[in-house]
Amino acid sequence: MLKKMPSLSLFDQTRYRCLFLTAVLLAFAFSVAAWEHHPLLTEPVLETISETESFTPAAAVTLEDFLSAVEGPLAVFLAEEEAWAREHLPWYAPCPEELDFVATGNPDDIRARFFQAIRINPNTKTPLYFSVLSGNDIQGATLLSPEEFTLFPDAAALESFDFVSLLPGGVLNAQDIIATASNEPDYGMDTGLFEDNDTDFGRRYGFGLQPFGNPGLDYGSQAPFHMGFYHESPLVFLFAPFLKRTYPEYRIHLFKRLSEFAFENDHDYWGWRFMGWGLHYLADLSMPYHTTVLPGYSALRMLWINFLDILGISTPVDNALQLVSNRHMAIETYQRIVMERALREGSGCAIFDALNADYDAPAYDDNLPRQVLANASNQLARQMNRTLVKYMPYDFVSNPALELGEIEGLENIVEMVAESHGVQALEELDALLADALELFAHYGRSYIADIISKR
């Protein structure tokens, strides 16, 4: 196939690129949440680090009060942050000048001014609260309903947790603030930000057209902020350069620096909370399905099925996209069930062992998320794909005629694997997840230690 390519006319080449784009556009129509419920991952990491780092409790402060207290320095800080992103991030879409944060002293619109300057969904909720596994009866607790903290109230994973409301001034452990916050980027702040998402802010934010994923799906529009395809073959990038337009590094740097800025200004509550926001994207990059376009498909195979698509044979591409989407959802559901059960039963598991281990974390630098973390996670993709295909139910991961989100029985996935392949299959799957999450434990620790060292 490759030999044929140079003989394509310019028209054909353009058509080829466009068609490849069309095909991959569909790739992320489903399941882009990555690890299900990040506090499950964040808590054990914090628990270990707390033995050596100083996590101090903090009194909750509303976002508006925090912003008003630091308004002047914040304007300077955000201008510096924009300059950093323009200088250091390839493919960065600069923030339009009219969105710049200007210190006007008006508390009524300070939240909106901040959200537009950091270009998140203006409807993002930031109540004062913390999340715990459901079933812990907390005396006198007022629980938040999902509508009060997320733009996606129907997410299945939310049912396993309670969201406990807090009044301003209520004191929380740093670990609770960080772990709770580490799920917040999945509550809709990165949705609707592109020009073709049919939102007024998407048209103003300057991110252009959504590079991949279905722009019509609310949840899908966050994919380019939570996925980082930095280590695909040059061949894939040649035909799909838009895959480089991802933004997790932008978010990680912004939230890490905001955390440091809050600490510098003696606002520890927001220091811990922004730290949690940044940790979310580091965890996402440890997920092989978030750093690899089509796990299990070589570059040549990807180009081949795309070539067939151009010839009018679209089934191989459609099947590949559906299978990858189903496998992505299957492994994340499995992860949530295994971790939640281990926690409820106090039984422990390999995944928690990996998150809990006392790693010697390397020094953090801003290239680490891309060059080290995403690279290592990308290298796990092939094996993860092979193992889940071997052990998970055929209909869940190998039948492209089915959309996994629509079929019954997904919640029984652990039992189904055990029944058909025995305990050893569970151990192998757990070990794979442990390998991926060990990356988060390792480099998440670097990130946390770096912020704390500057306090």
Binding site for Zn ion (CB under 5 A): 34, 186, 226, 284
User: How near is the Cβ of 248 to Zn ion at its closest, in Å?
Assistant: 9
User: How near is the Cβ of 374 to Zn ion at its closest, in Å?
Assistant: 14
User: How near is the Cβ of 43 to Zn ion at its closest, in Å?
Assistant: 17
Indicate the residue among 306 and 325 with the shorter CB distance to Zn ion: 325
User: How near is the Cβ of 227 to Zn ion at its closest, in Å?
Assistant: 9
Handedness of CA 280, 285, 288, 292 (dihedral sign): positive
Q: In the numeric block, which tokens belong to residue 257?
A: 């620096």
Handedness of CA 300, 303, 305, 310 (dihedral sign): negative
Residue 374 near residue 285 (C-beta atoms within 8 A): yes
User: How near is the Cβ of 282 to Zn ion at its closest, in Å?
Assistant: 10
Q: How many CA atoms lie within 13 A of 16 on its CB side?
A: 21
Element (H, E) at 133: strand 129-133
User: How near is the Cβ of 48 to Zn ion at its closest, in Å?
Assistant: 23
User: How near is the Cβ of 221 to Zn ion at its closest, in Å?
Assistant: 12
Q: In a 3-state reduction of DSSP, which class is residue 295?
A: coil
Indicate the residue among 162 and 186 with the shorter CB distance to Zn ion: 186
Indicate the residue among 81 and 284 with the shorter CB distance to Zn ion: 284
First to last CA, the chain: 56
Indicate the residue among 160 and 222 with the shorter CB distance to Zn ion: 222
Residue 246 near residue 193 (C-beta atoms within 8 A): no
Indicate the residue among 34 and 144 with the shorter CB distance to Zn ion: 34
User: How near is the Cβ of 246 to Zn ion at its closest, in Å?
Assistant: 12
User: How near is the Cβ of 364 to Zn ion at its closest, in Å?
Assistant: 20
Please name which of 232, 381, 404 lies closest in space to residue 325, comparing C-alpha atoms: 404
Shortest-Cβ-distance residue relative to Zn ion: 226
Indicate the residue among 162 and 284 with the shorter CB distance to Zn ion: 284
Residues contacting 340, CB < 8 A, separation 6+: 37, 40, 133, 160
28-37 burial, b for 16+ CB within 10 Å, e for fewer? bbbbbbbbbb
Indicate the residue among 197 and 286 with the shorter CB distance to Zn ion: 286
Residue 233 burial (CB count, 10 A):
13
**DSSP characters for 270-302?**
HHHHHHHHHHHHHHHHTSHHHH-SSTT--HHHH
Indicate the residue among 37 and 267 with the shorter CB distance to Zn ion: 37
Please name which of 161, 278, 292 lies closest in space to residue 236, comparing C-alpha atoms: 292
What secondary structure letter does DSSP report for 143? B
User: How near is the Cβ of 33 to Zn ion at its closest, in Å?
Assistant: 6
**DSSP characters for 305-331?**
HHHHHHTT--HHHHHHHHHHHHHHHHH
Residues contacting 7, CB < 8 A, separation 6+: none
Indicate the residue among 202 and 278 with the shorter CB distance to Zn ion: 278
The length of the chain, given as a count of residues: 455
Outline where 200-240 has alpha helix (H). Answer: 200-204, 223-226, 234-239
What secondary structure letter does DSSP report for 76? H
Indicate the residue among 119 and 267 with the shorter CB distance to Zn ion: 119
